[in-house]
Structure 1
Amino acid sequence: MFRVFEEFKGKTAIITGGGTGIGRATALRLAELGANVVIASRSEADGVATVREIEELGGSAAFIQTDVAKEEQIIALVNQTIERFGSIDYMYNNSAITGDNELLEDYKTETFDRVFDVNVRGQQLLMKYAVPHMKPGSAIVNCASLHGTIAMAGDVAYSASKHAVIGLGKSAAAELAAKGIRVNIVAPGPVPTKMMRRYEELLTDDVDALEQAIAQLPVLKRYGTPEEVANAVVFLLSDMASYIVGHVLMVDGGCSIIR
Protein backbone atom coordinates (compact mmCIF):
# COMPACT_ATOMS: atom_id res chain seq x y z
CA MET A 1 0.00 0.00 0.00
CA PHE A 2 1.27 3.48 -0.87
CA ARG A 3 2.03 5.29 2.38
CA VAL A 4 1.91 9.04 1.84
CA PHE A 5 4.41 11.08 3.87
CA GLU A 6 5.70 8.08 5.84
CA GLU A 7 9.21 9.50 5.46
CA PHE A 8 8.63 12.14 8.14
CA LYS A 9 8.35 9.67 11.02
CA GLY A 10 11.25 10.03 13.44
CA LYS A 11 12.91 12.74 11.32
CA THR A 12 13.63 16.26 12.56
CA ALA A 13 12.46 19.55 11.10
CA ILE A 14 13.47 23.10 12.04
CA ILE A 15 10.81 25.73 11.45
CA THR A 16 11.68 29.39 11.94
CA GLY A 17 8.82 31.65 12.86
CA GLY A 18 7.08 28.49 13.96
CA GLY A 19 5.04 30.02 16.77
CA THR A 20 2.31 31.67 14.69
CA GLY A 21 0.64 31.72 11.31
CA ILE A 22 2.03 29.61 8.50
CA GLY A 23 4.99 28.43 10.58
CA ARG A 24 2.70 27.17 13.33
CA ALA A 25 0.42 25.42 10.84
CA THR A 26 3.43 23.73 9.23
CA ALA A 27 4.78 22.65 12.62
CA LEU A 28 1.45 21.07 13.55
CA ARG A 29 1.20 19.26 10.21
CA LEU A 30 4.74 17.85 10.36
CA ALA A 31 4.27 16.77 13.97
CA GLU A 32 1.03 15.04 12.96
CA LEU A 33 3.05 13.15 10.35
CA GLY A 34 5.51 11.96 13.00
CA ALA A 35 8.37 14.43 12.71
CA ASN A 36 10.27 15.92 15.64
CA VAL A 37 9.62 19.64 15.25
CA VAL A 38 11.93 22.39 16.47
CA ILE A 39 10.16 25.74 16.78
CA ALA A 40 12.53 28.68 16.38
CA SER A 41 10.93 32.01 17.25
CA ARG A 42 11.73 35.30 18.95
CA SER A 43 8.48 35.03 20.90
CA GLU A 44 8.78 32.63 23.82
CA ALA A 45 5.04 32.76 24.47
CA ASP A 46 4.15 31.77 20.90
CA GLY A 47 6.85 29.12 20.65
CA VAL A 48 6.01 27.48 23.95
CA ALA A 49 2.29 27.52 23.13
CA THR A 50 2.89 25.74 19.83
CA VAL A 51 5.10 23.11 21.47
CA ARG A 52 2.46 22.55 24.16
CA GLU A 53 -0.21 22.09 21.49
CA ILE A 54 1.92 19.56 19.61
CA GLU A 55 2.71 17.61 22.77
CA GLU A 56 -0.94 17.55 23.81
CA LEU A 57 -1.69 15.94 20.44
CA GLY A 58 0.98 13.30 21.10
CA GLY A 59 3.72 14.82 18.96
CA SER A 60 7.37 15.63 19.63
CA ALA A 61 8.56 19.22 19.67
CA ALA A 62 10.99 21.67 21.23
CA PHE A 63 11.18 25.46 21.39
CA ILE A 64 14.47 27.31 20.92
CA GLN A 65 14.26 31.09 21.22
CA THR A 66 15.98 32.52 18.17
CA ASP A 67 16.46 35.82 16.39
CA VAL A 68 17.37 34.55 12.91
CA ALA A 69 19.26 37.75 12.13
CA LYS A 70 21.87 36.93 14.79
CA GLU A 71 24.51 34.48 13.70
CA GLU A 72 25.37 33.24 17.19
CA GLN A 73 21.71 32.38 17.81
CA ILE A 74 21.48 30.44 14.55
CA ILE A 75 24.57 28.45 15.55
CA ALA A 76 22.97 27.74 18.93
CA LEU A 77 19.72 26.68 17.23
CA VAL A 78 21.55 24.16 15.05
CA ASN A 79 23.70 22.82 17.89
CA GLN A 80 20.77 22.44 20.29
CA THR A 81 18.71 20.69 17.63
CA ILE A 82 21.48 18.15 17.06
CA GLU A 83 21.93 17.67 20.80
CA ARG A 84 18.19 17.12 21.34
CA PHE A 85 17.23 15.04 18.30
CA GLY A 86 20.50 13.93 16.67
CA SER A 87 19.77 15.11 13.13
CA ILE A 88 18.39 17.85 10.90
CA ASP A 89 16.40 16.37 8.02
CA TYR A 90 14.05 19.16 7.02
CA MET A 91 14.03 22.91 7.28
CA TYR A 92 11.39 25.54 6.64
CA ASN A 93 12.80 29.07 6.61
CA ASN A 94 9.63 30.95 7.43
CA SER A 95 10.66 33.92 9.64
CA ALA A 96 9.98 37.33 8.14
CA ILE A 97 9.06 40.91 8.95
CA THR A 98 7.34 43.48 6.73
CA GLY A 99 9.21 46.62 7.66
CA ASP A 100 7.43 49.94 7.10
CA ASN A 101 5.13 51.22 4.38
CA GLU A 102 7.20 54.19 3.24
CA LEU A 103 8.23 55.64 -0.10
CA LEU A 104 11.81 55.13 -1.24
CA GLU A 105 13.09 58.56 -0.26
CA ASP A 106 11.57 58.29 3.22
CA TYR A 107 12.54 54.72 4.03
CA LYS A 108 14.76 54.44 7.12
CA THR A 109 18.09 52.77 6.45
CA GLU A 110 18.04 50.87 9.74
CA THR A 111 14.57 49.47 8.97
CA PHE A 112 15.62 48.43 5.47
CA ASP A 113 18.69 46.67 6.89
CA ARG A 114 16.63 44.90 9.57
CA VAL A 115 14.18 43.57 6.95
CA PHE A 116 17.05 42.11 4.93
CA ASP A 117 18.77 40.76 8.04
CA VAL A 118 15.67 38.79 9.04
CA ASN A 119 14.14 37.89 5.68
CA VAL A 120 17.28 37.08 3.67
CA ARG A 121 20.31 36.81 5.91
CA GLY A 122 18.38 34.65 8.37
CA GLN A 123 17.68 32.09 5.66
CA GLN A 124 21.27 32.16 4.43
CA LEU A 125 22.66 31.69 7.93
CA LEU A 126 20.43 28.75 8.82
CA MET A 127 21.27 26.98 5.57
CA LYS A 128 24.96 27.70 6.10
CA TYR A 129 25.08 26.11 9.54
CA ALA A 130 22.44 23.39 9.15
CA VAL A 131 23.49 21.95 5.79
CA PRO A 132 26.68 20.29 7.13
CA HIS A 133 24.43 18.22 9.38
CA MET A 134 21.96 17.27 6.63
CA LYS A 135 22.22 13.99 4.74
CA PRO A 136 21.24 13.11 1.17
CA GLY A 137 17.47 12.96 0.96
CA SER A 138 17.02 16.01 3.18
CA ALA A 139 14.99 18.97 1.98
CA ILE A 140 14.66 22.70 2.56
CA VAL A 141 11.81 25.07 1.80
CA ASN A 142 12.37 28.82 1.97
CA CYS A 143 9.43 31.19 2.28
CA ALA A 144 9.23 34.02 -0.25
CA SER A 145 5.95 35.77 -1.05
CA LEU A 146 3.74 36.93 -3.87
CA HIS A 147 5.67 40.17 -3.24
CA GLY A 148 8.79 38.35 -4.40
CA THR A 149 7.34 38.27 -7.91
CA ILE A 150 5.52 41.63 -8.01
CA ALA A 151 6.07 45.03 -6.41
CA MET A 152 4.07 47.98 -5.16
CA ALA A 153 4.80 51.51 -4.01
CA GLY A 154 5.85 51.78 -0.37
CA ASP A 155 7.00 48.17 -0.30
CA VAL A 156 10.66 48.63 -1.18
CA ALA A 157 12.26 46.64 1.65
CA TYR A 158 9.82 43.73 1.92
CA SER A 159 9.43 43.26 -1.83
CA ALA A 160 13.18 43.53 -2.44
CA SER A 161 13.90 41.04 0.35
CA LYS A 162 11.41 38.51 -1.00
CA HIS A 163 12.85 38.83 -4.52
CA ALA A 164 16.24 38.16 -2.91
CA VAL A 165 14.85 35.09 -1.11
CA ILE A 166 13.93 33.59 -4.48
CA GLY A 167 17.41 34.21 -5.86
CA LEU A 168 19.01 32.82 -2.70
CA GLY A 169 16.83 29.71 -2.82
CA LYS A 170 17.53 29.00 -6.49
CA SER A 171 21.27 29.43 -5.99
CA ALA A 172 21.19 27.14 -2.96
CA ALA A 173 19.18 24.59 -4.93
CA ALA A 174 21.77 24.53 -7.70
CA GLU A 175 24.59 24.10 -5.20
CA LEU A 176 23.05 21.62 -2.77
CA ALA A 177 21.58 19.24 -5.37
CA ALA A 178 25.04 17.69 -5.62
CA LYS A 179 24.77 16.81 -1.90
CA GLY A 180 21.37 15.20 -2.40
CA ILE A 181 19.59 18.07 -0.63
CA ARG A 182 16.63 19.64 -2.40
CA VAL A 183 15.80 23.33 -1.97
CA ASN A 184 12.53 24.88 -3.09
CA ILE A 185 10.66 28.12 -2.45
CA VAL A 186 7.04 28.71 -1.49
CA ALA A 187 5.43 32.06 -2.30
CA PRO A 188 2.19 32.68 -0.40
CA GLY A 189 -0.38 35.25 -1.40
CA PRO A 190 -2.72 36.94 1.11
CA VAL A 191 -3.04 34.84 4.26
CA PRO A 192 -4.56 36.11 7.54
CA THR A 193 -1.57 36.12 9.90
CA LYS A 194 -0.33 38.52 12.57
CA MET A 195 2.26 39.86 10.14
CA MET A 196 -0.35 40.41 7.42
CA ARG A 197 -2.61 42.21 9.88
CA ARG A 198 0.24 44.50 10.96
CA TYR A 199 0.98 45.33 7.32
CA GLU A 200 -2.67 46.10 6.63
CA GLU A 201 -2.73 48.43 9.64
CA LEU A 202 0.24 50.31 8.18
CA LEU A 203 -1.71 50.88 4.97
CA THR A 204 -5.02 52.13 6.34
CA ASP A 205 -7.17 52.84 9.37
CA ASP A 206 -10.06 50.97 7.73
CA VAL A 207 -8.59 47.47 7.82
CA ASP A 208 -11.95 45.76 7.29
CA ALA A 209 -12.49 47.57 3.99
CA LEU A 210 -8.93 46.81 2.90
CA GLU A 211 -9.37 43.12 3.69
CA GLN A 212 -12.54 43.02 1.63
CA ALA A 213 -10.64 44.55 -1.29
CA ILE A 214 -7.66 42.20 -0.91
CA ALA A 215 -9.98 39.21 -0.82
CA GLN A 216 -11.12 40.13 -4.34
CA LEU A 217 -7.59 40.02 -5.79
CA PRO A 218 -7.11 36.23 -6.05
CA VAL A 219 -9.15 34.51 -8.75
CA LEU A 220 -10.49 32.35 -5.90
CA LYS A 221 -11.86 35.56 -4.31
CA ARG A 222 -10.67 34.88 -0.77
CA TYR A 223 -7.67 34.88 1.52
CA GLY A 224 -5.73 31.64 1.80
CA THR A 225 -5.29 29.87 5.12
CA PRO A 226 -2.07 29.06 6.98
CA GLU A 227 -2.97 25.37 6.63
CA GLU A 228 -3.18 25.63 2.83
CA VAL A 229 0.34 27.05 2.66
CA ALA A 230 1.54 24.46 5.19
CA ASN A 231 0.27 21.68 2.95
CA ALA A 232 2.33 23.09 0.07
CA VAL A 233 5.43 23.26 2.28
CA VAL A 234 4.97 19.66 3.45
CA PHE A 235 4.57 18.51 -0.15
CA LEU A 236 7.80 20.23 -1.23
CA LEU A 237 9.66 18.71 1.73
CA SER A 238 8.28 15.23 1.01
CA ASP A 239 9.47 12.45 -1.26
CA MET A 240 6.45 13.12 -3.45
CA ALA A 241 8.37 16.21 -4.66
CA SER A 242 11.61 14.26 -5.21
CA TYR A 243 12.08 15.59 -8.76
CA ILE A 244 11.24 19.20 -7.87
CA VAL A 245 14.18 21.47 -7.10
CA GLY A 246 14.74 25.23 -7.28
CA HIS A 247 11.03 25.73 -7.91
CA VAL A 248 8.92 28.69 -6.76
CA LEU A 249 5.51 27.32 -5.81
CA MET A 250 2.91 30.08 -5.84
CA VAL A 251 0.23 29.51 -3.18
CA ASP A 252 -1.67 32.69 -3.89
CA GLY A 253 -5.18 31.79 -4.98
CA GLY A 254 -4.35 32.95 -8.49
CA CYS A 255 -3.16 36.49 -7.67
CA SER A 256 -0.10 36.04 -9.86
CA ILE A 257 -2.09 35.19 -13.02
CA ILE A 258 -3.96 38.49 -12.95
CA ARG A 259 -2.40 41.25 -15.04
Structure 2
Amino acid sequence: MQRFEGKVALVTAGAQGIGAAVVRRIAAEGGSVVITDLQQDKIEALATELADSAGDVIAVPLDVTVREQVDAAVAATIERFGRLDVLVNNAGGCIVSTVPEDTTDEGWHRQLDLTLVGAARCIQASLPHLVKSHGNVVTISSVNGLAAFGNIEYAAAKAGQIAMSQNFAARYGSLGVRFNVVAPATIRTPVWDHQPQALDNLKGLYPLARIGEPEDIAAAVAFLASPDAAWITGHTLPVDGGVLTGPGLLDLTPSGPFRKDYPTD
Protein backbone atom coordinates (compact mmCIF):
# COMPACT_ATOMS: atom_id res chain seq x y z
CA MET A 1 0.00 0.00 0.00
CA GLN A 2 1.14 3.53 -0.76
CA ARG A 3 -1.47 5.43 1.24
CA PHE A 4 0.88 8.33 1.97
CA GLU A 5 2.33 8.89 -1.48
CA GLY A 6 2.67 12.65 -2.01
CA LYS A 7 1.92 13.31 1.67
CA VAL A 8 4.14 14.79 4.38
CA ALA A 9 4.06 13.78 8.04
CA LEU A 10 5.74 15.32 11.07
CA VAL A 11 6.34 12.85 13.91
CA THR A 12 7.38 14.02 17.37
CA ALA A 13 9.60 11.82 19.57
CA GLY A 14 10.50 9.77 16.53
CA ALA A 15 13.94 8.57 17.60
CA GLN A 16 12.93 5.18 18.96
CA GLY A 17 10.07 2.99 20.13
CA ILE A 18 6.60 3.93 18.95
CA GLY A 19 7.75 7.09 17.18
CA ALA A 20 10.39 5.31 15.12
CA ALA A 21 7.91 2.56 14.19
CA VAL A 22 5.44 5.22 12.99
CA VAL A 23 8.16 6.91 10.93
CA ARG A 24 9.09 3.60 9.30
CA ARG A 25 5.47 2.72 8.57
CA ILE A 26 4.59 6.04 6.94
CA ALA A 27 7.83 6.04 4.92
CA ALA A 28 7.18 2.45 3.81
CA GLU A 29 3.78 3.57 2.53
CA GLY A 30 5.31 6.30 0.39
CA GLY A 31 5.14 9.29 2.71
CA SER A 32 7.78 11.92 3.33
CA VAL A 33 8.52 12.25 7.04
CA VAL A 34 10.03 14.89 9.29
CA ILE A 35 11.44 13.04 12.30
CA THR A 36 11.74 15.20 15.39
CA ASP A 37 13.24 14.38 18.78
CA LEU A 38 15.67 15.63 21.40
CA GLN A 39 18.05 12.82 20.42
CA GLN A 40 19.54 14.32 17.28
CA ASP A 41 22.01 11.49 16.63
CA LYS A 42 19.24 8.89 16.66
CA ILE A 43 16.88 10.75 14.33
CA GLU A 44 19.71 11.44 11.91
CA ALA A 45 20.62 7.74 11.94
CA LEU A 46 16.98 6.82 11.27
CA ALA A 47 16.77 9.33 8.42
CA THR A 48 19.89 7.77 6.91
CA GLU A 49 18.42 4.29 7.32
CA LEU A 50 15.32 5.36 5.40
CA ALA A 51 17.16 7.28 2.69
CA ASP A 52 16.04 4.80 0.03
CA SER A 53 12.37 4.80 1.05
CA ALA A 54 9.69 6.01 -1.33
CA GLY A 55 9.36 9.35 0.44
CA ASP A 56 11.97 11.82 1.62
CA VAL A 57 12.90 11.61 5.31
CA ILE A 58 14.64 14.40 7.24
CA ALA A 59 15.62 14.88 10.87
CA VAL A 60 14.85 18.05 12.86
CA PRO A 61 15.82 18.39 16.54
CA LEU A 62 12.85 19.38 18.69
CA ASP A 63 11.91 19.94 22.31
CA VAL A 64 8.11 20.23 22.35
CA THR A 65 8.23 22.23 25.59
CA VAL A 66 9.87 25.13 23.74
CA ARG A 67 7.44 26.99 21.51
CA GLU A 68 10.15 28.53 19.35
CA GLN A 69 11.49 25.06 18.53
CA VAL A 70 8.00 23.79 17.67
CA ASP A 71 7.42 26.73 15.32
CA ALA A 72 10.86 26.19 13.77
CA ALA A 73 10.22 22.48 13.15
CA VAL A 74 6.96 23.20 11.35
CA ALA A 75 8.64 26.00 9.38
CA ALA A 76 11.44 23.61 8.37
CA THR A 77 8.80 21.14 7.17
CA ILE A 78 7.11 23.73 4.98
CA GLU A 79 10.43 25.04 3.67
CA ARG A 80 11.52 21.54 2.63
CA PHE A 81 8.24 20.09 1.36
CA GLY A 82 5.82 22.99 0.91
CA ARG A 83 3.05 21.21 2.80
CA LEU A 84 2.08 19.29 5.92
CA ASP A 85 -0.58 16.58 5.83
CA VAL A 86 -0.16 14.58 9.04
CA LEU A 87 0.97 15.51 12.54
CA VAL A 88 1.71 12.60 14.88
CA ASN A 89 1.91 13.81 18.48
CA ASN A 90 4.03 11.14 20.14
CA ALA A 91 6.16 13.19 22.53
CA GLY A 92 5.43 12.62 26.20
CA GLY A 93 6.21 10.26 29.02
CA CYS A 94 5.78 9.54 32.69
CA ILE A 95 8.28 11.95 34.24
CA VAL A 96 6.77 12.26 37.73
CA SER A 97 7.60 9.32 40.01
CA THR A 98 6.55 10.59 43.42
CA VAL A 99 3.52 9.48 45.41
CA PRO A 100 0.72 11.58 43.84
CA GLU A 101 -0.31 13.06 47.20
CA ASP A 102 3.23 14.45 47.45
CA THR A 103 3.64 15.73 43.88
CA THR A 104 4.74 19.34 43.82
CA ASP A 105 3.25 22.03 41.63
CA GLU A 106 6.50 21.93 39.65
CA GLY A 107 6.05 18.20 39.08
CA TRP A 108 2.52 18.70 37.80
CA HIS A 109 3.62 21.53 35.52
CA ARG A 110 6.51 19.49 34.07
CA GLN A 111 4.26 16.52 33.32
CA LEU A 112 1.49 18.57 31.77
CA ASP A 113 3.88 20.81 29.84
CA LEU A 114 5.56 17.88 28.13
CA THR A 115 2.62 15.60 27.46
CA LEU A 116 -0.42 17.84 27.09
CA VAL A 117 0.74 21.38 26.38
CA GLY A 118 3.53 20.07 24.14
CA ALA A 119 0.93 18.36 21.96
CA ALA A 120 -1.15 21.54 21.93
CA ARG A 121 1.85 23.59 20.78
CA CYS A 122 2.44 21.23 17.88
CA ILE A 123 -1.21 21.37 16.87
CA GLN A 124 -1.27 25.17 17.02
CA ALA A 125 1.83 25.50 14.84
CA SER A 126 0.60 22.90 12.34
CA LEU A 127 -3.04 23.97 12.00
CA PRO A 128 -2.71 26.60 9.23
CA HIS A 129 -0.96 24.06 7.04
CA LEU A 130 -3.30 21.18 7.93
CA VAL A 131 -6.27 23.35 6.97
CA LYS A 132 -4.69 23.94 3.56
CA SER A 133 -4.03 20.25 2.98
CA HIS A 134 -7.20 18.94 4.69
CA GLY A 135 -4.81 17.00 6.83
CA ASN A 136 -5.11 15.30 10.18
CA VAL A 137 -3.59 14.83 13.62
CA VAL A 138 -3.06 11.54 15.43
CA THR A 139 -2.08 11.87 19.09
CA ILE A 140 -0.56 9.00 21.04
CA SER A 141 -2.31 8.94 24.40
CA SER A 142 -2.54 5.90 26.69
CA VAL A 143 -5.02 3.52 28.31
CA ASN A 144 -4.01 5.42 31.46
CA GLY A 145 -6.15 8.24 30.11
CA LEU A 146 -9.16 5.92 29.88
CA ALA A 147 -9.01 3.86 33.08
CA ALA A 148 -7.31 3.83 36.47
CA PHE A 149 -3.92 2.17 35.95
CA GLY A 150 -2.00 4.49 38.27
CA ASN A 151 0.58 7.17 37.44
CA ILE A 152 -2.00 9.84 38.24
CA GLU A 153 -0.16 12.87 36.83
CA TYR A 154 0.66 11.03 33.60
CA ALA A 155 -2.91 9.70 33.39
CA ALA A 156 -4.35 13.20 33.79
CA ALA A 157 -2.13 14.52 30.99
CA LYS A 158 -3.10 11.62 28.72
CA ALA A 159 -6.80 12.10 29.46
CA GLY A 160 -6.34 15.76 28.62
CA GLN A 161 -4.96 14.79 25.20
CA ILE A 162 -8.17 12.87 24.50
CA ALA A 163 -10.46 15.73 25.54
CA MET A 164 -8.35 18.22 23.59
CA SER A 165 -8.49 16.10 20.44
CA GLN A 166 -12.26 15.73 20.68
CA ASN A 167 -12.66 19.49 20.94
CA PHE A 168 -10.32 20.20 18.06
CA ALA A 169 -12.20 17.62 15.98
CA ALA A 170 -15.49 19.39 16.59
CA ARG A 171 -14.00 22.81 15.94
CA TYR A 172 -12.11 22.05 12.72
CA GLY A 173 -14.10 19.24 11.13
CA SER A 174 -15.94 21.61 8.82
CA LEU A 175 -12.55 22.76 7.49
CA GLY A 176 -11.62 19.20 6.62
CA VAL A 177 -9.11 18.57 9.42
CA ARG A 178 -9.43 15.36 11.45
CA PHE A 179 -8.18 14.68 15.00
CA ASN A 180 -7.93 11.17 16.40
CA VAL A 181 -6.15 9.43 19.26
CA VAL A 182 -4.45 6.07 19.70
CA ALA A 183 -4.34 4.78 23.29
CA PRO A 184 -1.68 2.08 23.74
CA ALA A 185 -1.35 -0.21 26.71
CA THR A 186 2.02 -1.77 27.61
CA ILE A 187 4.37 -1.60 24.61
CA ARG A 188 7.85 -3.07 24.33
CA THR A 189 9.87 0.15 24.09
CA PRO A 190 13.35 1.11 25.38
CA VAL A 191 11.87 2.32 28.68
CA TRP A 192 11.58 -1.37 29.58
CA ASP A 193 15.12 -2.35 28.54
CA HIS A 194 16.30 -2.63 32.13
CA GLN A 195 13.13 -4.36 33.35
CA PRO A 196 12.60 -7.34 31.02
CA GLN A 197 11.16 -9.52 33.79
CA ALA A 198 8.65 -6.86 34.78
CA LEU A 199 7.53 -6.66 31.18
CA ASP A 200 7.07 -10.44 30.97
CA ASN A 201 5.13 -10.45 34.22
CA LEU A 202 2.54 -8.11 32.69
CA LYS A 203 1.55 -10.56 29.95
CA GLY A 204 -1.02 -12.23 32.17
CA LEU A 205 -3.06 -9.03 32.30
CA TYR A 206 -3.75 -9.20 28.58
CA PRO A 207 -6.40 -11.39 26.94
CA LEU A 208 -4.15 -11.62 23.86
CA ALA A 209 -1.42 -12.98 26.14
CA ARG A 210 1.40 -10.78 24.93
CA ILE A 211 2.88 -7.34 25.31
CA GLY A 212 2.31 -4.88 22.48
CA GLU A 213 5.01 -4.02 19.97
CA PRO A 214 5.70 -0.55 18.54
CA GLU A 215 4.55 -1.84 15.16
CA ASP A 216 1.09 -2.54 16.61
CA ILE A 217 0.74 1.15 17.38
CA ALA A 218 2.25 2.24 14.07
CA ALA A 219 -0.35 0.20 12.19
CA ALA A 220 -3.18 1.94 14.05
CA VAL A 221 -1.64 5.38 13.48
CA ALA A 222 -1.20 4.67 9.78
CA PHE A 223 -4.86 3.69 9.49
CA LEU A 224 -6.20 6.77 11.27
CA ALA A 225 -3.85 9.10 9.37
CA SER A 226 -4.71 7.60 5.97
CA PRO A 227 -7.65 8.13 3.61
CA ASP A 228 -9.03 4.81 4.89
CA ALA A 229 -10.19 6.75 7.96
CA ALA A 230 -11.54 9.73 6.02
CA TRP A 231 -14.84 9.74 7.94
CA ILE A 232 -13.38 9.15 11.40
CA THR A 233 -12.64 12.06 13.68
CA GLY A 234 -12.78 12.80 17.38
CA HIS A 235 -12.27 9.16 18.34
CA THR A 236 -9.87 7.28 20.57
CA LEU A 237 -8.71 3.84 19.44
CA PRO A 238 -7.36 1.68 22.26
CA VAL A 239 -4.60 -0.63 21.03
CA ASP A 240 -4.36 -2.56 24.24
CA GLY A 241 -4.33 -6.34 23.77
CA GLY A 242 -7.78 -6.36 25.36
CA VAL A 243 -6.67 -5.10 28.78
CA LEU A 244 -9.59 -2.67 29.00
CA THR A 245 -12.03 -5.58 28.82
CA GLY A 246 -11.17 -6.62 32.36
CA PRO A 247 -9.00 -9.17 34.12
CA GLY A 248 -7.35 -10.82 31.14
CA LEU A 249 -6.48 -14.49 31.54
CA LEU A 250 -7.34 -14.79 35.22
CA ASP A 251 -9.40 -17.80 36.28
CA LEU A 252 -12.83 -16.35 37.02
CA THR A 253 -14.56 -19.51 38.26
CA PRO A 254 -13.95 -21.62 41.38
CA SER A 255 -14.14 -24.88 39.45
CA GLY A 256 -11.75 -24.29 36.61
CA PRO A 257 -10.91 -22.19 33.56
CA PHE A 258 -13.59 -19.84 32.35
CA ARG A 259 -13.02 -20.81 28.72
CA LYS A 260 -12.71 -24.02 26.74
CA ASP A 261 -9.18 -24.85 25.63
CA TYR A 262 -8.84 -25.67 21.96
CA PRO A 263 -5.85 -27.19 20.13
CA THR A 264 -3.53 -24.51 18.80
CA ASP A 265 -1.62 -26.61 16.25
Alpha carbons 1:5, 1:239 under 8 Å: kept: no
Q: Distance in 2 between matches of 1:208 and 1:123?
A: 30
Name which of 5, 16, 28 aligns with 2:12.
16
Equivalent residue for 1:125?
121
Unaligned runs of 5+ residues in structure 1 are: 202-206
Q: Is the 8 A contact 1:40 1:47 kept in 2?
A: yes
State the Cα distance separating 1:58 from its structure 2 match. 5.4
Give, in whole Å, the separation in 1 of the partners of 2:43 and 2:203. 29
Alignment of 1:151 onto 2:139: no
1:246 aligns with 2:234: yes
Report deviation, 1:218.
1.3
1:174 equivalenced with 2:162 (yes/no): no
Distance 2:202 2:241 in 1: 11
> Is the contact between residue 176 and residue 182 of structure 1 (CA under 8 Å) also seen in structure 2?
yes
Q: In the alignment, is the contact (CA less than 8 A) between 2:30 and 2:53 conserved in 1?
A: no
8 A contact 1:142–1:165 mirrored in 2: yes
- The answer on whether the counterparts of 1:22 and 1:229 sit within 8 Å (CA) in structure 2 is yes
Q: Does residue 34 of the first structure (1) align with residue 12 of the second (2)?
A: no
Matched residue SS, 1:216: helix
| 3-state SS of paired residue (1:81) | helix
1:256 aligned to which of 240, 244, 247: 244
Matched, 1:78 2:61: no
Residue pair 1:103, 1:156 contacting (<8 A) in 2 also: no
Q: Indicate whether 1:235 and 2:231 are aligned.
A: no
Q: Which residue of 2 aligns with 1:137?
A: 134
Report the CA distance between 1:151 and its aligned residue.
2.3
1:45 aligns with 2:33: no
Change (3 A) 1:104 1:73: same
**Cα deviation code 1:125-165 (max 9, x no counterpart):** 11111110122531110110011112244x12111110111
* 2:93 is equivalent to residue 102 of structure 1: no
- Equivalent pair of 2:29/2:54 in contact (CA under 8 Å): no
Counting aligned pairs with the same residue, the percent is 33
- For each residue in 1:173-232, what CA deviation from the matched residue of structure 2 results, as whole angstroms up to 9, or x when unmatched? 11110110111000011101123x27xx6xxxxx34422221111110111110111000
SS across alignment from 2:50: helix
Q: In structure 1, the residue corresponding to 2:224 is in which secondary structure?
A: helix
Compute the RMSD of aligned alpha carbons.
1.6
In structure 2, C-alpha distance between the alignment counterparts of 1:209 and 1:159, rounded to whole Å? 24
TM-score (norm 1): 0.90
Query: 1:5, 1:238 within 8 Å by CA — same for their partners in 2?
Result: no
The AA in structure 1 aligned to 2:90 is: N
Aligned length: 246
Larger radius of gyration: 2
Gaps of 5+ in 2: 248-265
Look up the SS of the partner of 2:51 in the other structure.
helix
- In 1, the alpha carbon distance for the partners of 2:244 and 2:89 equals 22
The answer on whether the counterparts of 2:136 and 2:178 sit within 8 Å (CA) in structure 1 is yes
TM-score computed with the length of structure 2 as normaliser = 0.88
1:204 matched residue in structure 2: none
Confirm or deny: 8 A CA contact 1:16 1:94 kept in the other structure: yes
Aligned-pair distance for 1:41?
Answer: 0.4
3-state SS in 1 of match to 2:204: coil
Alignment partner of 1:215: what SS?
helix
- Whether the 8 Å contact between 2:141 and 2:161 is mirrored in structure 1 is yes
CA apart distance, 1:114: 1.4
Q: Is the 8 A contact 2:96 2:111 kept in 1?
A: no
